[in-house]
Structure 1
C-alpha cells in the first residue's frame, strides 16, 4: 500500500495530533527522500548534518536525512532496508521489533531484483508478491483502496509479528524476535538487512540518518541464506 499524499501546513498536522482538529485517515510525515533538508530546511540549525562518529566509522556521509512525525496509529509493517540506519527520537517513543538476518529462513519473504522475476522460475506464483495499491480520498471523506494493476508486483512480508498466523507460517515460531523502546534523546543503530516492525507514541518526532550499505560479506551472507531458504522449500 502506498500512502495518499497530501501537502498540509505543519501547524495543521500538529493540531490533528493534539486533538484540536480532525482529518480523515492516519497522518504521518514520513517521506523517505531526505525530506528534512529538502522540505523542512528551517529545522536544519537544530541538528547536525550527519552523525560524525558514524560517518567516520562507515567512511561516508549519509545518503538521506529523514524527518518523522505521526500518530500512534501509524504502524510500519515488518520489512528490511539496504541502509545503515541511525534513528534519533526527539520526542515521544518508538517501539521496535527486530529480527536479525539469520532469522531469514523463518520469515516468509520473496527476495528478488525488480525486472528479473519470471513466473516460470518457480512452479507457483509466490504469495509474497503483491499488486501495488494506493489510498484515494473519496468525495464522502473516506478512503478507498485502488489497485495499480499496470505496475509490477512487489514483494512484501505477509506476516504480522505481533499476531503471527502460525497455522499458515509455522516456521516463524522458530524465529527469535528482539524488542526495544527508543525514548526521546536516544539513538538507535539499526544495521542494514535487519528486519524490523515499528510502532510509536502519539505525536512522536524522530530524525534518522541513512547511510548506504556496503555490498560486502554481510550482503553475500544474506543472499546465501535467502537462496538456501528457497532451495529447501522453507518459503
Structure 2
C-alpha cells in the first residue's frame, strides 16, 4: 500500500458527475446537497502492506498455511509480518446484513477480533469462517486498528478540509465480502469515500425524499456466534427502540410502502481510483464487489439552516402520517 498517499487523495481531480435535485414538498422548497463523483486521473495500485523485515510486498497468495486463533487456517509469511498479524474488528452476520432490520428487530452484527491475514484468507477461499465477514468498524478504525498504514495515507482530503473548514472526525477502513450489504440509512457526516480496490455500488436518495422513505421503531438485538458456528439473536434489553428504515430499495414492498414509488433514487458505481462525495443527510444503500477495499473520511456536518430544513421536513412527514 506504499502509493496510497498519492493515490487516494490526489489533488489532480476532474469532476466526473454532478447530481442535484430540487424538490418542493408540502409548500417547503428544499434544495438538496450536491453529490459528486470525483474521478482522479490515476489508476489505483494493488493493496500492499509493509513488512519491517522485507520492505513492501503485495498481499497475494499465501506462502504457507498455519492455524490461527480462530481454529481456521491462517496465512503467514514475510509479506504479512507487520499488517497481516494485526487484529482488526470484524462484523460477522449470517447473511451479510449488519445494522439492519430483520423480522421485528434491528439487528447489530457479532463482532470478532481476527488477524487481518485470516480475513484475507477467508475472502480468497483459503480458509473458512461462519457467516459473512466485513471489516467495517467505524469511529476511525484505520488509525486505531491499522496504524501501520498511516504512512501510506494523507490524514485528510486537503481540498475538502479547506472547503469544509475543518479536519475529518474519522478515517475508516473497509474490507469485506460481496454478500456484505449496508442497509438504507443516512449519516450526520460529510463523507469522502475512496475506493482503493474493487468497486462500491451506491443507491442514493437526497434528503428531500424523506417523505417517501419509511421509518419504524424496532427492538435492538445483536447476533451472537456460538461455538458450533451458528448464529442466535439476543435482544439488547437495556437499549431504547431504534428508528430504522425497513425498506429494501433493491426490492421495495410497494404494497406496504406505496409512497416509496414517488422517490427517485440515484445509482452510482465507484470504482478503484475514484472518490465519492456523499453529503450529510443523504440516504444511501451500499453493495460491493468481493474483497473491495476502501477508505473514507468523515467530516462532522454543520448543524445549520440545511439541518433545520431537514428536521422540519422530517417533522412534517411524521405529523402528516406519511411515515
Of residues 277, 282, 291, the one that matches 1:194 is 282
Write the distance in 2 (CA, Å) between the matches of 1:29 and 1:122: 29
Write the distance in 2 (CA, Å) between the matches of 1:149 and 1:159: 24
Structure number with the higher strand fraction is 2
The residue aligned with 2:133 is 27
Listed one character per residue, the Cα deviations across residues 66-119 of structure 1 (whole Å, up to 9, x for unaligned) are 000000010000000000000000000000000000xxxxxxxxxxxxxxxxxx
Of residues 241, 265, 271, the one that matches 1:153 is 241
Per-residue deviation, 1:152: 0.8
Quick check: 2:192–2:277 contact (8 Å CA) kept in 1? yes
Per-residue deviation, 1:46: 1.0
Quick check: 2:212–2:262 contact (8 Å CA) kept in 1? no
Q: Secondary structure at the match of 1:132?
A: strand
Gaps in structure 2 of 5+ consecutive residues: 1-106
1:177/1:122 Cα in 2 relative to 1: closer, same or farther (>3 Å)?
A: closer
Q: CA RMSD in A?
A: 3.6
Q: Secondary structure at the match of 2:261?
A: helix
Write the distance in 1 (CA, Å) between the matches of 2:153 and 2:246: 37
1:65/1:123 Cα in 2 relative to 1: closer, same or farther (>3 Å)?
A: closer
Q: Secondary structure at the match of 1:135?
A: strand
1:46/1:196 Cα in 2 relative to 1: closer, same or farther (>3 Å)?
A: same
1:95/1:172 Cα in 2 relative to 1: closer, same or farther (>3 Å)?
A: same
- Greater CA drift, 223-232 or 92-101: 223-232
Per-residue deviation, 1:149: 2.2
Per-residue deviation, 1:180: 0.3
Listed one character per residue, the Cα deviations across residues 121-175 of structure 1 (whole Å, up to 9, x for unaligned) are 9999997111111111123211111111221111100100000000000000000
1:204/1:179 Cα in 2 relative to 1: closer, same or farther (>3 Å)?
A: same
Write the distance in 2 (CA, Å) between the matches of 1:204 and 1:125: 28
Per-residue deviation, 1:233: 1.3
Q: Secondary structure at the match of 2:277?
A: strand
Quick check: 2:185–2:284 contact (8 Å CA) kept in 1? yes
Quick check: 2:199–2:269 contact (8 Å CA) kept in 1? yes
The structure showing larger relative contact order (alpha-carbon pairs under 8 Å, at least 6 residues apart) is 1
Structure 1 residue 69 corresponds to structure 2 residue 200: no
Structure number with the higher helix fraction is 1
Quick check: 2:140–2:172 contact (8 Å CA) kept in 1? yes
Quick check: 2:214–2:257 contact (8 Å CA) kept in 1? no
Q: Secondary structure at the match of 1:122?
A: helix
Spell out structure 1 runs of 4+ moving beyond 4 A.
120-127
Per-residue deviation, 1:2: 1.4
TM-score (norm 2): 0.64
Per-residue deviation, 1:231: 1.9
Write the distance in 2 (CA, Å) between the matches of 1:65 and 1:122: 28
1:122/1:33 Cα in 2 relative to 1: closer, same or farther (>3 Å)?
A: closer
Write the distance in 2 (CA, Å) between the matches of 1:208 and 1:218: 23
Listed one character per residue, the Cα deviations across residues 14-52 of structure 1 (whole Å, up to 9, x for unaligned) are 000011000001111011110100110111111100000
TM-score (norm 1): 0.88
How many residue pairs align between the two structures?
217
The residue aligned with 1:3 is 109
Listed one character per residue, the Cα deviations across residues 152-206 of structure 1 (whole Å, up to 9, x for unaligned) are 1111001000000000000000000000000001000000000000000000000
Write the distance in 2 (CA, Å) between the matches of 1:75 and 1:215: 29
Write the distance in 2 (CA, Å) between the matches of 1:122 and 1:167: 18
Larger Rg: 1 or 2? 2
Write the distance in 1 (CA, Å) between the matches of 2:211 and 2:120: 50
